[in-house]
Amino acid sequence: MQWEVVSPGSALEPYFDAKKKRKVAEIHQALNSDPIDVATLRRMAISEGGLLTDEIRCKVWPKLLSVNTEELPPLPGKELREDNKDYQQVLLDVRRSLRRFPPGMPDDQREGLQEELIDIILHVLKRNPQLHYYQGYHDIVVTFLLVVGDRLATALVEKLSTHHLRDFMDPTMDNTKHILNYLMPIIDQVNPKVHDFMQSAEVGTIFALSWLITWFGHVLSDFRHVVRLYDFFLACHPLMPIYFAAVIVLYREQEVLDCECDMASVHHLLSQIPQDLPYETLISRAGDLFVQFPPSELAREAAQQQAERTAASTFKDFELASVQQRPDTVLRQRFRERLRTEERTESILAKPRTNRFVKLAVMGLTVALGAAALAVVKSALEWAPKFELQIFP
Quickly state the pLDDT bin for 362 (edges 50, 70, 90): very low
pLDDT above 80: residue 261? yes
75: CB partners within 8 A, 6+ apart:
119, 150, 151, 154
Question: Range with the lowest mean pLDDT among 15-19, 166-170, 330-334?
Answer: 330-334
pLDDT tens, position by position, 87-113:
999 999 999 888 899 888 999 999 999
pLDDT above 70: residue 357? no
Q: According to the model, what pLDDT value does residue 333 have?
A: 46
Q: According to the model, what pLDDT value does residue 275 have?
A: 87
pLDDT above 50: residue 363? no
- The residue with greater pLDDT, 7 or 242, is 242
Question: Range with the lowest mean pLDDT among 125-129, 243-247, 327-331, 335-339?
Answer: 327-331
The average pLDDT across 40-51 equals 95
pLDDT above 60: residue 215? yes
Average pLDDT, the chain: 80
Q: According to the model, what pLDDT value does residue 36 have?
A: 93
pLDDT tens, position by position, 127-172:
999 999 999 999 999 999 999 999 999 999 999 999 999 999 999 9
The average pLDDT across 330-335 equals 45
Quickly state the pLDDT bin for 71 (edges 50, 70, 90): confident
Looking at mean pLDDT, say which of 9-23, 229-243, 305-319, 345-359 comes out highest.
229-243
Quickly state the pLDDT bin for 325 (edges 50, 70, 90): very low
3-state secondary structure the chain: CCHHHCCCCCCCHHHHHHHHHHHHHHHHHHHHCCCCCHHHHHHHHHCCCCCCCHHHHHHHHHHHCCCCHHHCCCCCCHHHHCCCCCHHHHHHHHHCCHHHCCCCCCHHHHHHHHHHHHHHHHHHHHHCCCCCCCCCHHHHHHHHHHHHCHHHHHHHHHHHHCCCCHHHHCCCCHHHHHHHCCHHHHHHHHCHHHHHHHHHHCCCCHHHHHHHHCCCCCCCCCHHHHHHHHHHHHCCCCCHHHHHHHHHHHHCHHHHHHCCCCHHHHHHHHHCCCCCCCHHHHHHHHHHHHHHCCHHHHHHHHCCCCHHHCHHHHHHHHHHCCCCCCCHHHHHHHHHHHHHHCCCCCCCCCCCCCCHHHHHHHHCCCCCCCHHHHHHHHHHHHCCCCCCCCCCC
Q: According to the model, what pLDDT value does residue 366 have?
A: 33
Q: According to the model, what pLDDT value does residue 315 have?
A: 55
Other Cβ atoms closer than 10 A to 121: 29
- The residue with greater pLDDT, 223 or 323, is 223
Q: Is 173 exposed, middle or buried, given 0-12, 13-18 or 19+ CB atoms closer than 10 A?
A: middle
* Distance between CA atoms of residues 207 and 167, nearest Å: 18
CB 66 within 8 A of CB 159: yes
The average pLDDT across 172-191 equals 94
Single pTM value for the model: 0.78
Q: According to the model, what pLDDT value does residue 84 have?
A: 86
CB 233 within 8 A of CB 214: no
